[in-house]
Amino acid sequence: MRSLRTRLGWLATAVAVVAPLAIAAPVSATAPAGAPGASGSTRADGPTVEERRLDLPVPREILRRGGFDDVAPRFARALAGARSPAAAQRVVAQHGQRLWERAVDRAQGRGPAGGDLSRDDDRPLYWARLGMTRALTEWRPAFPLSDARRVALRAHLERSSRGQDTLRLPAGKGVKRIVVTGFDPFQLDADPRRSNPSGAAALALDGTTIRTPSGPARIETAVFPVRWDEFASGVVERALLPHFRPGPRQVDLFTTISQGRPGRFDVERTNGAWRGGYGDNANVSRTGLVPIPPGVPTPPEQPQWTTTSLPYERIVEAETGPFPVRDNTAVTEIPAGGDEPVERPDGPTPGSAARAGGGGDYLSNEIAYRATLLRDAVGLDAPGGHLHTPVLTFGPGNTDPATGTVTDPRFVRDRQAITDQVRAVVTVAAGTVR
């Protein structure tokens, strides 16, 4: 996920892939972050923008062909049987975690496929989760339930169904501990068939062990929403902080991952503290300094820039797969004393204000900024940063969402190749940890 501005150099060749969302009138950028209704993700009075897309034919087909069309109905029946807030909490926790585990099992070849979509497909998880959140919104319990309590149940469902609260890193010195994060599909108003290879990679890697020259490494993963307001509320820090703090399960390596440019991987050298306003999955726009939620460890003065500590030279030099891997050093800044944005190919200049990191000014840049800022705030001495994958495209003759199919051989082949190369990149990085 890159900003529109930083993509102009290659937009002409990728317009069918990264065309802007057909954005409805967004919520005002001045609405309070995280306020009920602000992002369409915390409402208790009706379906959100994302949930309403479930009524389209494509999501229904993906759920059916992925074998996940039973998820929301089962969850709704379980909720209907809840007779107290505590019982509802148990239903949410169990079904959310079960959805994540089911998606991971499917991606890693355990159990029946449940449908004819390739096992690596990340989209059934995304659409099934939305079915569950819509069922939670529409549920009318037999006992009093405040809007605030329903919102809290929804937040728990989001965390558990994304793997955010089950990052089970092992203790001890005999194994390295790695956290990898991915994202939901996005730009779905333009094409609801879209997949996100970073989310597919997260499902394929969760709970796996890789072998490196310096020993085994356990990978734990989570997926994050493409929504500004959840990020402002601290969803990233809440998931990562327990694993960044000192202790026997402290992470040894982390990488946030998202979808970036066509045909290449990028290791993003610098992350910027700026939100560029591009619409998210809730059709909300946010522009301004990246907000740090209260209570999160952070430097006394928020920096404009953070820097990767991934071994980018080793990663770029290694033979990791079919796609080239680049060390991306470009940023967009307002120089000290200036008032207009300037593109810098070799990183920011002293005293400048961020307008785009190497990863742009969207949520991919923001998750990288938040993760590396948290790393610095707690003094975590571990490699960490952001990796952009190639853009995933449909094959020739299948580019029009109005007439195209939800999958094709090239689509599957490229997504699997990206996942394999992500695993190889992480293995190279982990091999540098002693």
Per residue in 330-369, pLDDT (tens digit) is: 999 999 999 999 999 999 999 999 999 999 999 999 999 9
Tell how far CA 338 is from the center of its chain.
34
Look at residue 40 and tell me whether its pLDDT is greater than 90: no
- If one counts every other C-beta atom within 10 angstroms of the C-beta of residue 183, the result is 25
Neighbouring C-beta atoms of residue 326, cutoff 10 Å: 18
Tens-digit pLDDT profile for residues 120-138 = 999 999 999 999 999 999 9
Enumerate residues 6+ apart whose C-beta is below 8 A from 264: 323, 324, 325, 326, 390
pLDDT band at 12 (very low <50, low <70, confident <90, very high): very low
- 104-121 mean pLDDT: 97
Mean pLDDT of the 284-297 span: 97
Furthest CA-CA distance within the chain: 63
Is residue 5 scored above 70 in pLDDT?
no
Q: Which residue has the tokens 């953070």?
A: 306
3-state secondary structure of 351: coil
Q: What is the pLDDT of residue 19?
A: 32
pTM of the model as a whole: 0.91
- Helices 85-107 and 197-205 cross at an angle (nearest 10°) of 90
pLDDT (average), residues 210-229: 96
The full DSSP string for 356-413 is EBTTBSSHHHHHHHHHHHHHHHHT--S-EEEEEEPPP-PPTT---TTT--S--HHHHH
pLDDT given for residue 44 in this prediction: 53
Which is it for strands 253-259 and 176-183: parallel, antiparallel or unpaired?
parallel
* pLDDT band of 423, cuts 50, 70, 90: very high
Supply the pLDDT for residue 214: 86
pLDDT at 374: 98
Strand partners, 223: 182
**Per-residue confidence at 26, pLDDT binned at 50, 70, 90?**
very low
Encode pLDDT of 156-178 as tens digits: 999 999 999 999 999 988 999 99
Of 39-53, 144-158, 288-302, 350-364, give the lowest mean pLDDT range. Answer: 39-53
Q: Check whether 20 has a pLDDT greater than 50.
A: no
Is pLDDT above 70 for 100? yes
Spatial distance between the Cα atoms of 365 and 276, rounded to a whole number of angstroms: 10
Count H helices, E strands: the chain? Answer: 13, 14
Confidence of residue 22 (pLDDT cuts 50, 70, 90): very low
Mean pLDDT on 195-205: 98
Whether residue 429 has pLDDT greater than 60: yes
The whole-number average pLDDT for the span 83-107 is 98
Domains contained in the chain, CATH given: 1-26+169-434 (3.40.630.20), 31-161 (no CATH)
